[in-house]
């Protein structure tokens, strides 16, 4: 791998080595971060918590607009907006740290996500001066509620195939908009809609800012599995006249607007996985400590302790991953600014640059969230199955997170697809690294990490070997399928899982190394068990990729090399997990 560096770009983690002091960790939250998070949590405790049952029903929709306005009046909708337009002007780390707390607000978090992310950012980044002056002030204080209209009955993951169409009026002053959108969050009370459509006979999408009073029609509230307190409706446009000055950004460039918004939206979903994971973990551990069976708390039983340890390990992993990405994004933003890039453009470029990493956090975060909530419900036994329990609310609410902002299946294609695109454009020397890995494979130079070294030194070598494994099988896949690899979705999905495991593992190891002396025994136990989890995952995925891309001796040689690279010394993982569980049982929550 190449030498250690300070600023890292999209995909470079695979071929470059980051030093512990180059990453950002939650242990480094400043007083500003802590105070902002506490203020948001206080708001949730006061305004949302007493209504959590209301937000588990459609009754929550009626109270949402007023609560959104209260939040806006406190400035919490404008955390990342520039100070010049009344925002706080906070950096990415601060914005995402705040987002984690906001994600705990039950169904209300859906409204927040659209208002803060899609509502504010689309106009902030792509709006004209006149559009910003007309809409942004009221959006930032919650007076204007936003909705984002991309999905159609026949256009989900394939967003550009949408049929909603706008044609220019005879006088050239309006677009006449016709079409239908579905699964539109906030639709029931939104004042403005960002509508993606095709103008005339264009091949690509454009985006129009449409005001409700211009004739937008709504379907009934959808009956959903979860997030019952959020408004979700179909939206209909029948000859709606939209002033031409309400074209957002450039004509034919709407897909770019949508994708850039999705990158940050995906990251936010992964962060929500961290937030709800912690909340569900606390509910589960507290119940296990209180529930007495066979004359002792069920938290004293090994089967429950194993659940607690696995849950805590996964939460530590996603927390490490998204905070590391937040720091990397800020570092790259600062680099762009130093090169003379305007601030808003720099933020757009950062989101585009880290598209693969945003998808990784989305997939990993939403799936660990599902795991943790499911295990927390299981720890509750029959009480968890009760529809009145809080854990059952989370169980229903989170299922959509693997579907929103591009399904996890689509995001798994985005991850290797983006990295390979960077390689083909010469931005990332992936094939050169793969060729070196092939040479090492043929010469027998691939060796396991040295278990006689210190924990940190061994971890660095093991991580390096995981990267080599990812590069080796990625190179084999690219060589085997070449341009046709985009049709090999099963292979791409496994590559995505391998690459994601490597990325998250690096965040875990770097964070633990940087936080030396802070509950070090527990952190190293988490690292050890997570390394074993990663090794097992990589073994399964690489084996299937190898058998899909190589035959005969080459398949056997490759498989043996991978098994050697990710070989780990014998550990009593059960004992390590008991150590982890004991710590969190004593804390009675996720606290490290």
* Pairing state between β 206-211 and 192-199: antiparallel
Predicted TM-score (pTM) of the model is 0.96
What Rg do the C-alpha atoms of the chain give, in angstroms? 24
Residues 318, 364: contact at Cβ < 8 Å? yes
Beta-bridged to residue 189, according to DSSP, are none
Q: Within the chain, which residue ranges are assigned CATH 1.20.140.10?
A: 254-410, 429-587
Other C-beta atoms closer than 10 Å to the C-beta of 293 total 10
Question: b or e along 85-104 (b: 16 or more beta carbons within 10 Å of the residue's beta carbon)?
Answer: eebbebbbbbbbbbbbbbbb
Q: Which CATH superfamily is domain 148-248 in?
A: Butyryl-CoA Dehydrogenase, subunit A, domain 2 (2.40.110.10)
What was the pLDDT predicted at 6? 64
Contact residues for 23 (Cβ-Cβ < 8 A; gap 6+): 323, 324, 327, 328, 507, 510, 511, 514
Q: How far apart are alpha carbons 113 and 103 in whole angstroms?
A: 8
Q: Quote helix, strand, coil % in the chain, to nearest 5.
A: 65, 10, 25
Residue ranges in the chain whose pLDDT is less than 50: 1-3
pLDDT (0 to 100) of residue 3 = 44
User: What residue spans in the chain does CATH classification 1.10.540.10 cover?
Assistant: 28-145
Q: What are the start and end residues of each CATH 2.40.110.10 domain in the chain?
A: 148-248
Does residue 592 contact residue 281 with C-beta atoms inside 8 Å?
Answer: no
- Spatial contact of 526 and 508, defined as CB atoms under 8 Å apart: yes
Q: How far apart are the C-alpha atoms of 289 and 39, rounded to whole Å? A: 29
Q: Is residue 61 within 8 Å of 231, Cβ to Cβ?
A: yes
CA distance 277 to 590: 9
Phi/psi at 350 (5° precision):
-65, -45
The residue behind tokens 């991580």 is 463
Q: Which residues contact 249 (CB under 8 A, 6 or more apart)?
A: 126, 127, 206, 207, 256, 257
What's the pLDDT at 153? 95
Establish whether 405 is a catalytic residue. Answer: yes
Query: Which CATH class, in words, describes the domain spanning 429-587?
Result: mainly alpha
Predicted pLDDT of residue 157: 84
Q: Which residues contact 268 (CB under 8 A, 6 or more apart)?
A: 96, 99, 103, 113, 117
- Check residue 2 and give its pLDDT: 46
DSSP 8-state symbol, 515:
T
Decide yes or no: CATH 1.10.540.10 for domain 28-145.
Answer: yes
Per-residue pLDDT at 322 = 99
- Outline where 398-550 has alpha helix (H): 408-424, 430-443, 455-481, 489-514, 520-549
For domain 254-410, the CATH class is: mainly alpha
The CA-based dihedral angle spanning residues 500, 504, 505, 506, taken in that order and rounded to the nearest 10 degrees:
110
Name the catalytic one among 353, 357, 405, 506: 405
């Amino acid at each position: 791998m190449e030498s250690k560096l300070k600023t890292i770009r999209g995909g470079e983690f695979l071929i470059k080595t980051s030093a512990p002091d180059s990453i950002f960790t939650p242990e480094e939250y400043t007083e500003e971060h802590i105070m902002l998070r506490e203020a948001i949590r206080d708001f949730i405790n006061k305004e949302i918590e007493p209504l959590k049952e209301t937000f588990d029903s459609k009754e929550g929709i009626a109270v949402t607009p007023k609560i959104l306005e209260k939040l806006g009046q406190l400035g919490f909708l404008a955390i990342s907006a520039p100070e010049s337009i009344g925002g706080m002007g906070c950096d990415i780390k601060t914005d995402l740290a705040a987002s984690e707390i906001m994600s705990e607000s039950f169904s209300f978090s859906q409204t927040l996500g659209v208002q803060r992310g899609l509502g504010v950012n689309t106009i902030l980044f792509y709006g004209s001066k006149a559009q910003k002056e007309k809409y942004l002030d009221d959006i930032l204080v919650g007076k204007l509620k936003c909705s984002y209209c991309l999905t159609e009955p026949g256009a989900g993951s394939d967003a550009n195939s949408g049929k909603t169409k706008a044609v220019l009026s005879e006088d050239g002053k309006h677009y006449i908009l016709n079409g239908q959108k579905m699964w539109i969050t906030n639709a029931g009370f939104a004042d403005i809609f960002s509508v993606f459509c095709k103008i005339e006979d264009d091949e690509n999408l454009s985006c129009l800012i449409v005001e409700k009073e211009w004739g937008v029609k709504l379907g009934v509230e959808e009956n959903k599995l979860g997030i019952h307190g959020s408004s979700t409706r179909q939206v209909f446009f029948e000859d709606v006249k939209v002033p031409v000055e309400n074209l957002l950004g450039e004509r034919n460039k709407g897909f770019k607007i949508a994708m850039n918004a999705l990158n940050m939206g995906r990251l936010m979903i992964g962060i929500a996985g961290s937030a709800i994971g912690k909340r569900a973990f606390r509910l589960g551990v507290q119940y296990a400590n209180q529930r007495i069976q066979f004359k002792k708390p069920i938290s004293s039983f090994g089967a429950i302790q194993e659940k607690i340890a696995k849950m805590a390990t996964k939460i530590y992993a996603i927390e490490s991953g998204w905070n590391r990405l937040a720091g990397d994004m800020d570092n790259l933003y600062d680099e762009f600014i130093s090169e003379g890039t305007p601030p808003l453009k720099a933020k757009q470029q950062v989101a585009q640059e880290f598209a693969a990493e945003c998808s990784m956090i989305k997939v990993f975060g939403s799936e660990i969230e599902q795991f943790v909530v499911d295990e927390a419900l299981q720890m509750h036994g029959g009480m968890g199955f009760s529809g009145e329990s809080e854990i059952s609310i989370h169980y229903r609410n989170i299922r959509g997170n693997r579907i929103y902002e591009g399904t996890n299946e689509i995001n798994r294609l985005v991850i290797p697809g983006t990295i390979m695109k960077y390689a083909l454009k010469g931005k990332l020397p992936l094939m050169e690294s793969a060729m070196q890995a092939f040479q090492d494979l043929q010469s027998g130079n691939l060796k396991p990490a040295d278990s006689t070294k210190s924990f940190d030194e061994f971890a660095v070598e093991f991580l390096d070997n995981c990267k080599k494994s990812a590069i080796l099988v990625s190179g084999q896949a690219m060589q085997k399928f070449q341009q046709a690899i985009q049709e090999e979705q099963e292979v791409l999905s496994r590559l995505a899982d391998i690459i994601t495991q490597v990325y998250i593992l690096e965040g875990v190891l770097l964070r633990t190394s940087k936080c030396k002396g802070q509950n070090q025994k527990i952190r190293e136990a988490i690292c050890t068990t997570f390394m074993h989890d990663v090794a097992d995952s990589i073994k399964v995925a690489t084996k299937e990729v190898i058998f899909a891309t190589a035959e005969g001796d080459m398949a056997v040689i490759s498989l043996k090399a991978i098994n050697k690279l990710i070989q780990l010394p014998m550990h009593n993982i059960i004992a390590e997990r008991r150590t982890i569980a004991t710590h969190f049982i004593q804390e009675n929550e996720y606290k490290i």
